[in-house]
């Protein structure tokens, strides 16, 4: 994070965003595009065609060496030794007490080489923790954030737009949560298929000096099929519809993966110890103290982060994320609820400026793309 006297960092695409007239905002120490015109239009373009995102603020941490997999097995809750080269895994790094320090995507680039993708606000914390935990494992841990720019194209038209620019790459052979080295617009890149919008799409990790030509080639290639640049505001409503957690909202040091309904990422059956194992095992045995749930509001009022949730008029939880859903046409929210509050006999509501607004318990995700 930047200090009050520091200016936010600029991504390699900053001049492009200014030329496109983006509304810029300071986010996690970076100057980032919030929206270019209408965040609703950007959201719907991703659902119907494609959106182009600058994600160069995300942290990249390289872990390499003969014991890199063992180091990550100890540092993170997942079983990274079982990850094959060319595949990716969603995982978390937890404190000794089981609290989530960050949620991560880890790519295995080769037998002895991994790339850990951290949230921008947590890059320094994740880098420091992984480096400390890797000590003695024969692994080199490097903050490689400055070595990468990251451009993402998301939406049902993404593959068709990217394919003509991807040279010999067979995009169809890149499975979900996988990646491969190749070229995009003639520039060397790691091309992955993960995403944070609930749609199909690709992430292009390239050198910072290649970010502008990669962005411009994708923008030009998608202009005729409805692709638009999309900012942080659309990214947030897209991930909320898809039921994907955001660190600082659904995840944090006061939450374990089990409260968030993500206990599956904790691999107790992997060999050896890992940081937080005992605390997480105890939580898995006792059950979570609260549960992440979806809510649909029966009003046009918006449930914002921190608003109270009530069951039969009594406080039973708090909203973590809320926004209008452009796809569904109603306000939606995620919230942590006390045990039993989601039982069918309770009448739920959200306290919004002194008014109890009726809410309907809704299965997550709110939106699931058709295959």
Indicate whether 285 belongs to any domain.
Answer: no
pTM of the model: 0.96
Q: For residues 134 and 159, give the distance between their C-alpha atoms in angstroms, rounded to a whole number.
A: 37
Give bridge partners of residue 141 from the DSSP assignment: 63
**In the chain, which residue ranges form alpha helices assigned H by DSSP?**
14-19, 39-48, 68-75, 123-134, 158-162, 211-222, 232-241, 277-286
Residue 306 dihedral angles phi and psi, to the nearest 5°: 95, -10
pLDDT tens digits along 238-284: 999 999 999 999 999 999 999 999 999 999 999 899 999 999 999 99
Do 46 and 152 fall within a single domain?
yes
Residue matched to tokens 């039993």: 340
pLDDT above 80 (res 172): yes
Say how many residues make up the chain: 371
pLDDT tens digits along 339-353: 999 887 899 999 999
* Domain stops at, among 110, 127, 143: 143
What was the pLDDT predicted at 371? Answer: 67
C-alpha closest to that of 231 among 20, 31, 33: 33
Do 153 and 77 fall within a single domain?
no
What average pLDDT does this structure show over 54-66? 98
Q: For residues 322 and 40, give the distance between their C-alpha atoms in angstroms, rounded to a whole number.
A: 15
Indicate whether 119 belongs to any domain.
Answer: yes
Do 44 and 186 fall within a single domain?
yes
What six digits make up the tokens of 299?
């009003």
CATH number for the domain harbouring residue 76: 3.30.70.1400
Q: Are 303 and 333 spatial neighbours (Cβ–Cβ below 8 Å)?
A: yes
Indicate whether 25 belongs to any domain.
Answer: yes
Q: For residues 118 and 89, give the distance between their C-alpha atoms in angstroms, rounded to a whole number.
A: 13
pLDDT above 70 (res 3): no
Do 235 and 154 fall within a single domain?
yes
Do 154 and 134 fall within a single domain?
no
Q: Are 166 and 191 spatial neighbours (Cβ–Cβ below 8 Å)?
A: yes
pLDDT confidence tier of residue 1, bands split at 50, 70 and 90? very low
pLDDT tens digits along 312-332: 999 999 999 999 999 999 999
Do 46 and 165 fall within a single domain?
yes
Q: Are 39 and 235 spatial neighbours (Cβ–Cβ below 8 Å)?
A: no
What six digits make up the tokens of 237?
């409503």
- Sheet with 51-54: list strands edge to edge: 179-184, 187-192, 201-206, 149-154, 51-54, 228-229
Q: For residues 261 and 189, give the distance between their C-alpha atoms in angstroms, rounded to a whole number.
A: 34
C-alpha closest to that of 34 among 229, 232, 197: 232
Do 127 and 153 fall within a single domain?
no
What was the pLDDT predicted at 4? Answer: 55
* Domain stops at, among 210, 241, 272: 241
Do 21 and 68 fall within a single domain?
no
What six digits make up the tokens of 153?
């194209």
Total domains present in the chain? 3
Q: For residues 20 and 35, give the distance between their C-alpha atoms in angstroms, rounded to a whole number.
A: 10
What was the pLDDT predicted at 345? Answer: 85
Strands 59-64 and 113-118: antiparallel
* Domain stops at, among 112, 143, 174: 143
Do 48 and 153 fall within a single domain?
yes
Do 167 and 35 fall within a single domain?
yes
Residue range(s) defining the domain that contains residue 83: 59-143
Q: Is the dihedral of CA 106, 107, 109, 111 positive or negative?
A: positive
pLDDT confidence tier of residue 7, bands split at 50, 70 and 90? confident
């Amino acid at each position: 994070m930047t200090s009050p006297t520091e200016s936010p960092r600029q991504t390699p695409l900053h001049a492009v965003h200014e030329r496109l007239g983006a509304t810029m905002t300071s986010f996690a120490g970076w100057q980032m595009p919030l929206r270019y015109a209408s965040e609703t239009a950007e959201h719907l373009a991703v659902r119907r065609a494609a959106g182009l995102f600058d994600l160069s603020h995300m942290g990249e941490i390289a872990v390499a060496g003969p014991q890199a997999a063992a180091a990550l097995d100890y540092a993170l809750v997942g079983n990274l030794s079982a990850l094959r080269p060319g595949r990716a895994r969603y995982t978390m790094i937890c404190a000794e007490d089981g609290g989530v320090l960050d949620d991560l995507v880890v790519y295995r680039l080769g037998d002895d080489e991994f790339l850990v993708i951290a949230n921008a606000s947590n890059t320094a914390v994740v880098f420091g923790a992984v480096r400390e935990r890797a000590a003695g494992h024969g692994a080199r841990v490097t903050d490689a954030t400055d070595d990468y720019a990251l451009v993402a194209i998301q939406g049902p038209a993404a593959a068709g737009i990217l394919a003509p620019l991807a040279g010999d790459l067979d995009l169809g052979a890149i499975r979900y949560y996988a990646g491969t080295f190749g070229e995009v617009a003639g520039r060397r890149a790691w091309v992955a298929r993960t995403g944070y919008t609930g749609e199909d799409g690709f992430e292009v990790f390239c050198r910072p000096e290649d970010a502008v030509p990669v962005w411009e080639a994708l923008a030009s290639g998608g202009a005729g099929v409805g692709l638009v640049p999309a900012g942080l505001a659309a990214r947030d409503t897209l991930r909320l519809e898809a039921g994907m957690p955001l660190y600082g909202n659904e995840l944090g040091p006061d939450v374990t993966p089990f409260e968030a309904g993500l206990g599956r990422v904790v691999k107790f059956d992997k060999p050896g110890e890992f940081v937080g194992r005992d605390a997480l095992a105890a939580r898995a045995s006792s059950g979570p103290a609260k549960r992440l749930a979806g809510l649909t509001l029966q009003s046009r009022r918006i449930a914002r982060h921190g608003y109270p949730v009530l069951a039969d008029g009594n406080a039973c939880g708090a909203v973590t994320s809320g926004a209008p859903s452009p796809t569904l046409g109603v306000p939606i929210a995620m919230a942590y609820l006390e045990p039993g509050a989601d039982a069918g006999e309770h009448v739920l509501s959200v306290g919004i400026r002194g008014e109890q607004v009726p809410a309907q318990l809704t299965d997550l995700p709110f939106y699931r793309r058709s295959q």
